[in-house]
Amino acid sequence: MLDILDYTKQELVSNADFWQFAQSHIEKPTEFKGVSFVSSIKFIEENLLSRYEKVTLILGLSDNGTNSIGQRLAQLTDRNEFVKYGYQHRDSEFTKRILDGSLKLYFTKKNLIHTKMYLLTNDKDYLSFAGSMNLTEAAVNRNLEQLDCDYGKQTDKLYQCHLQLFEDNYKQAATFLDAKQMAGFIKAKNEEQLQINVYTNSVDMITSKEDADGDTVVLAPAEVKQFKDHNSSDEEMKQLSAKEKLSVAQTVKLFGDAGHKKRNLENIGKELYSLTQVIEHTSRTNSVEGKINREEDLYPKPVLFYNNGQLFESPRVGNNVKSQVLKSDLADERLQKELQLFSDIAHEYDNYKEVGEGWQACDFMCFLFEAPWLWKIRNMYEASNTSKSREDVPLGVALIGQGRTGKSTLGKRLAAKLTGSGNFLDGGVFDSKNYALGKSNINMTITTVLSDYMYSNGPVNPMMIDDISPDLTTRPYFDRFIKEITNNRSLTQPIPSFIFTMNRLEGDSKSQFSLKPEIMRRLWYLSFESTFSGDANEREDKLNNLLSRANDKLYRYCQVELAKFFDDVSPTTEQLIEKDFLYPIKYVLRQAMEQFDMFDQVKGYFAENYDYSLFVGRNDWTMLINQAKIGSDLTFIKQDGRLKAQINKQLFNKVSDNTARNNGSMMMDRYFQYLPRKYRISYQHTSTGFIVDVQNFDQWLNSDTLEQRYNGSADAKNARDIDNQVKLTEAITQLTEATKEKNKRHHLFGWFKNRG
């Protein structure tokens, strides 16, 4: 609620509309000058640029003293978002107005300000506001705010006082963004180069000279030193918020012990840009022996983050360890050796199983290796002219199946070695008793921690959680989380992914996992149902051999090559990526394997991505159909010239345990979800059952299960009897017609003979 004290009329206007009040108290204002604690691009574009021909804003900060050092550095960092928007939206009103000079943005350069004042003018009149309201949607429309206001002619002495107040703030401001800067920034060849340019420019603006003029931000050495000394210790760092930690780290990076800016770095802007990629998290201040106190302690280590087209290994904020770019010198025989390991792992899951599952194993490793770059593909899909969208790129993969099928071996032990991660997790660690602050339940804890990780700033390597409860995927809060993280159009920066393994036991309600298409679109299910076969000792030796050979050399090689791949993606390549989100990693691996004539070893796996919907439920459906009673559970009909089977609801009571989560209706819905849409088997189900196309159903099962049931049924016998009767009738009719025709010809011949 906004209250405006009208000095001119000496009255209080309660619950006022800021824009309507302004419109009614000054005629056609052309210029808006403002000083606000904060604002946003959206607010400026929607509320200011649409109303005023010229806009000048000074963005300030609250509080003074030593804490302001960190705030000013944070403001320098935030500057990149405004420039990035202009770079990405060159046709926007915001960018156009910056470039033509009718929008100018400034910010604090020395003494921090807390002013909120707005001055609207036309050729002769003015309208002035001062008070608590910032230029934000919340302040204008929802918060309890108060403004003092007066208005009149520009010849009035009071107008000069208002103008002087604005000028006093202007003298304390440096250029945040103007036409000259924007015109230079948008020449950057890509967004990574843009960020480096912005940070370099921002750092160049910093000075320690008290009498500095122009667009310089003054950080007094004494204040910098006091700020660093106060916050740099481990104990003090624990007390800081995530943003404050980042500000401390930036200050330490930029300034020497005396509080002066370091001059010995070749590119201090790039160093600052690298530093902003470090994960931002708030550490827990309480510590309980033997319990998890910080969520970030669960995150994969080392942390990988994306920067300027490459991946870096980074310590957590506060660690005095330099980030290192991920490099690889893998080549020749050493590269061939690691490629052979990749192939051997896939073939282990194909050759040593009753039913081969090398396809799934190969696709999982491809996902694992490409995971740090999925965010780029999501952005590419969103910008494409096809029906593809960012949610078509799964940010998670789940290895699902019975116990002892090799899921954890592949998804945790081998995956950890292949990526160099030292701490892939077990589901049991998320029990509330392991947390200092406690959690409501394991599924909720996993979702919360996973959400924290996915929204953290910087990391791109996947978090892996072994042996979770499959019913996590059915929980409404997990449903909301995965839809939000995959649909979020603002998540265009590097983000991580996640890996699950889960045991499937169809008869157990806790083993029920979501088969909803909108979940399976976002969480890629890989099936591991078949047990290992052959001699147990031989299999054990093979597995131990793989584990002893496993390392992250090929993973590092692929990251370096993927960086080169994404540095220059042609329209033709984009089309290939739109057809298959794993195309980039398949391309890199194929190029490497073809050097050694090895590609044939995995060629079959690369042809098409594994589709879980084609396999899940086939055994369950086959067994269900075999025990169905024709006539009551199952009836056959002809519809639109095709044989159809009507599946009645009572059939699903045979696989129900009569619990709330496993009743007949629930099982009917689950079995319907099993049917892959691509085979056009069934379109919808009602409360009484559904109808399936027999031929398409058997094509999915890769057998003639339903056709055989029909052939042995009374329906088929009746159909055959009817068909035989029809054929007999047709034959008799044809014979009768033929006899008539013969007799007719005979009589005609006799008539001619008699005439002769």
Q: What is the CATH number of the domain that holds 693?
A: 1.10.10
Ranges of beta strands (E only) in 125-242 are: 125-131, 145-153, 173-177, 206-207, 217-218
Which one has a higher pLDDT value, 202 or 450? 450
Same domain membership, residue 721 and residue 706: no
Mean pLDDT (the chain) is 84
pTM (2 d.p.): 0.60
* pLDDT at 363 (0 to 100): 98
Q: What is the pLDDT of residue 655?
A: 85
pLDDT of residue 320: 44
Given pLDDT bands bounded at 50, 70 and 90, which one contains residue 1?
confident
Q: Is 60 exceeded by the pLDDT of residue 317?
A: no
Cα pseudo-dihedral 635, 641, 642, 648, rounded to 10: -30
Task: Write a three-state SS string for 556-613.
Answer: HHHHHHHHHHHHCCCHHHHHHHHHCCCHHHHHHHHHHHHCCCCHHHCHHHHCCCCCHH
Residues 575 and 669 in one domain: no
Distance in angstroms (rounded) separating the CA atoms of residues 602 and 475 = 37
Average pLDDT over residues 399-409: 90
pLDDT computed for residue 508 by the predictor: 62
Are the CB atoms for 671 and 656 separated by under 8 Å? Answer: no
Decide: 295 and 453 in contact? Cβ < 8 Å: yes
Average pLDDT over residues 151-165: 93
262 within domain boundaries? no
Residue 286: per-residue pLDDT = 41
Strands of the sheet containing 125-131, edge to edge, are 11-13, 2-6, 145-153, 125-131, 117-121, 31-36, 54-59, 103-108, 173-177
CATH number of the domain where residue 99 is located: 3.30.870.10
What pLDDT, on a 0 to 100 scale, did the predictor assign at position 324?
A: 75
pLDDT score at 333: 96
Does residue 741 carry a pLDDT above 60?
yes
Residue 265 has a pLDDT of: 46
Phi, psi of 556 (to 5 degrees): -65, -40
Give the C-alpha distances (Å, rounded to integers) separating 140 from 132, 622, 702: 10, 63, 63
pLDDT band at 658 (very low <50, low <70, confident <90, very high): confident
pLDDT of 321 higher than 60: no
pLDDT beyond 90 at 238: no
State yes or no: pLDDT of 335 exceeds 60: yes
Pick the last residue of a domain from 544, 569, 604: 604
Domain boundary among 164, 191, 218: 191
pLDDT at 724: 62
What does the alpha-carbon distance between residue 27 and residue 124 come to, in Å, rounded to a whole number? 10
Q: What does the pLDDT average to over 620-646?
A: 91
Of 51-55, 70-74, 691-695, the range with the lowest mean pLDDT is 70-74
Same domain, yes or no: 625 and 677: yes
173 assigned to some structural domain: yes
| Residue 524 belongs to a domain | yes
The number of residues in the chain equals: 756
Instruction: Read off φ and ψ for residue 722, nearest 5 degrees.
Output: -65, -40
Same-domain status, 726 and 587 = no
User: Of 530, 146, 592, 183, which Cα lies nearest the Cα of 369?
Assistant: 592
Whether residue 264 is predicted with pLDDT greater than 80 in this model: the reply is no
CB 300 within 8 A of CB 423: yes
Q: Are 318 and 237 in contact (CB under 8 A)?
A: yes
Q: State whether 522 and 617 are in the same domain.
A: no
Q: What average pLDDT does the segment 425-448 reach?
A: 83
230 phi, psi to nearest 5 deg:
-75, -35
- Name the strands in the sheet holding 463-468, side by side, starting at the edge strand that comes first in the sequence: 425-426, 463-468, 498-503, 396-401, 523-527
Other Cβ atoms within 10 Å of 325 Cβ, number: 14
> Residue 651 CB: number of other CB atoms within 10 A?
21
Q: Is residue 437 part of a domain?
A: yes
Share of the chain above pLDDT 90, in %: 43
Return phi, psi of residue 500, to 5°: -120, 150
Distance CA 439, CA 746 (A): 100
pLDDT class of 112 with cuts at 50, 70, 90? low
Rg of the chain (C-alpha set): 35
Distance CA 446, CA 713 (A): 50
477 and 618 part of one domain: no
The 10 Å CB-count burial string (b at 16+, else e) for 74-89 is: bbbbebbebbbbbbee
Which residue among 587, 604, 621 closes a domain?
604
Is 99 within 8 Å of 13 (Cβ atoms)? no
> Does the structure show a pLDDT above 50 at 318?
no
> Does 557 lie in the same domain as 667?
no
- Asked if residue 331 is part of any domain, the answer here is yes
What are φ and ψ of residue 306, in 5° steps? Answer: -95, 140
Do 733 and 703 lie in one domain? The reply is: no
Beta bridge partners of 31: 54, 121
Whether residue 638 is predicted with pLDDT greater than 80 in this model: the reply is: yes
**Which whole number is the average pLDDT over 329-340?**
96
- Residue 349: name the closest of 407, 424, 396, 419 by CA: 407
Q: In terms of C-beta density within 10 A (0-12 exposed, 13-18 middle, 19 or more buried), how is residue 237 classed?
A: middle
pLDDT at residue 521 is higher than 60: yes
The distance from CA 31 to its chain's CA centroid, rounded to whole angstroms, is 41
pLDDT of residue 289: 53
Percent of the chain whose predicted confidence (pLDDT) is above 70:
86
pLDDT for 719 equals: 61
596 and 642 co-located in one domain: no
Type and span of the H or E element at 732: helix 714-755
> Do 566 and 700 lie in a common domain?
no
For residue 722, the model assigns a pLDDT of 60
Q: Kind and range of the H or E element at 34?
A: strand 31-36
Interval 164-175 mean pLDDT: 88
Cis peptide, bond prior to residue 302, ω within 30 of zero: yes
Amino acid at 496: P
Instruction: Answer yes or no: is 395 within a domain.
Output: yes
pLDDT value for 263: 59
Residues 33 and 174 in one domain: yes
Range 499-508 average pLDDT: 79
Give the amino acid at 704: D
The per-residue pLDDT for 746 is: 60
Q: What average pLDDT does this structure show over 149-162? A: 93
Residue 474's SS3 state is helix
**Mean pLDDT value of segment 162-181:** 88
Q: Which residues of 288-307 are buried (b: 16+ CB within 10 A; e: fewer)?
A: eeeebbbbbebbbbbbbbbb
Looking at the 3D structure of the chain, how many domains does it have?
4
Examine residue 671 and state whether it is found in any structural domain, yes or no.
yes
Residue 275 has pLDDT above 70, yes or no: no
Flag whether pLDDT at 720 surpasses 60.
no
What CA–CA distance (Å, rounded) separates 55 from 437?
49
* Residue 48 DSSP code: I
Average of per-residue pLDDT across 455-469: 89
Contacts of 751 (CB under 8 A, 6+ apart): none
Residue 303 inside a domain? The answer is: no
pLDDT of 241 reads: 66
- Least confident residue range of 470-484, 533-547, 548-562, 569-583: 533-547
pLDDT tens, position by position, 214-229: 778 777 788 788 887 7
Domain range holding 49? 2-191
Cα 721 to its chain centre, rounded Å, is 59
Q: Could you tell me the two tokens for 267?
A: 């590119």
Quick check: 443 and 478 in contact, CB under 8 A?
A: yes
Do 533 and 520 fall within a single domain? yes
Task: Grade residue 716 by pLDDT with cuts at 50, 70 and 90.
Answer: low
